[in-house]
Amino acid sequence: MVRIGTEQEYIERVLSLPRPGEENYLAFYEHRLGAIFKNPRLLLLPMDDHLVHRGDGIFEILQCVQGRIYQLDAHLARMRRSSSSNVLAPAVWAMRQFSSTWLAALIPDRTVVMSG
C-alpha cells in the first residue's frame, strides 16, 4: 500500500531530486508569486497551466551585455504583439517592471529566458 506523505516531505524530496541541466538555469520568474527565484529545483509547472492545456505561451531569449539587456524594448514589443489576442497580455505588460539594470544585476552577461 502506498503511504500518504506530508507537504514538508514533498518539498524536501523535490528539492533533493537531481535536475539534469540545472546548472544552466540561473533564475526564473514565478508569476503566481511575483518574484524571481534562483533555485532551479523550484521551477515546477502547475497542473492547470495554460501552456500545457491550451498551448498558451510566449517566450523570448534575452542577452545581458555589460549590465544591460540588449534590445529590451524590441523584445517587449514582440511579446506584446504575440500576446495581443490571448490571456497573456497582462503578464507581458508587467514585464517592463524588470528593468534592464535590475535583471542584469541579477544575472550579469548571461542569456535569460523570459516567458509570459
pLDDT attached to residue 10: 94
Query: Structural domains in the chain?
Result: 7-115 (3.30.470.10)
pLDDT attached to residue 16: 94
pLDDT attached to residue 4: 96
Give the pLDDT means over successive 10-residue stretches in the chain (116 positions): 95 91 79 80 80 69 73 81 64 59 59 53
Q: Which three cell numbers stand for residue 62?
A: 534575452
Q: What b-and-e string marks burial along 86-115, b requiring 16 or more CB atoms within 10 Å of the CB?
A: eebbeebeebeebebeebbeebeeeebebb
pLDDT attached to residue 35: 78
pLDDT attached to residue 89: 57
What's the rounded Cα separation, in Å, for the pair 16 and 31?
24
